[in-house]
Amino acid sequence: MIVDSYRFLPRSFRPFYEGRGPFPGEESPVWAPFEKRLSASRIALLTSAGVYMKESQPTFDLEREDANPEWGDPTWRVIPATARPEDFAFAHLHINPEDMLADPEIALPLRGLAELVDEGVVGGSVVDHVAVMGYQDRGLEDWGHTTAPEIAAHLREQGADALILAPA
Partner 1 sequence: MPVLARWIEAAGIPTVVVTMMPAVAEERRTPRIVGVEFPYGHAFGMPHDKAMQRRVLELALRVLAGAASSGTRVDFDTEWPVPLREAYKSWQPKVPSPIVRKLLEARAQAST
Q: Which residues sit opposite 80 in a β-bridge?
A: 128
Contact call for residue 56 and partner 1 (CB under 8 A): no
Contact call for residue 48 and partner 1 (CB under 8 A): yes
Name which of 50, 123, 48 is nearest 88 in CA terms: 50
- Report whether 42 contacts 124 (CB < 8 A): yes
> Would you tell me how many other CB atoms lie within 10 Å of the CB of residue 70?
10
Contact call for residue 161 and partner 1 (CB under 8 A): yes
To partner 1, the closest distance from the beta carbon of 58 in angstroms equals 19
Dist CA 93 CA 158 (whole Å): 30
Restricting to residues 83-122, which ones interact with partner 1 according to CB under 8 A? Answer: 93-100, 102-103, 105-107, 109, 112-113, 115-116, 121-122
- Burial environment of residue 160 by CB neighbours within 10 A (0 to 12, 13 to 18, 19 or more): buried
Among 15, 24, 37, 56, binds partner 1 (CB under 8 A): 37
Contact call for residue 40 and partner 1 (CB under 8 A): no
Contact call for residue 5 and partner 1 (CB under 8 A): yes
Contact call for residue 19 and partner 1 (CB under 8 A): yes
- Report whether 89 contacts 99 (CB < 8 A): no
Number of residues that bind partner 1 (CB under 8 A): 80
To partner 1, the closest distance from the beta carbon of 16 in angstroms equals 10
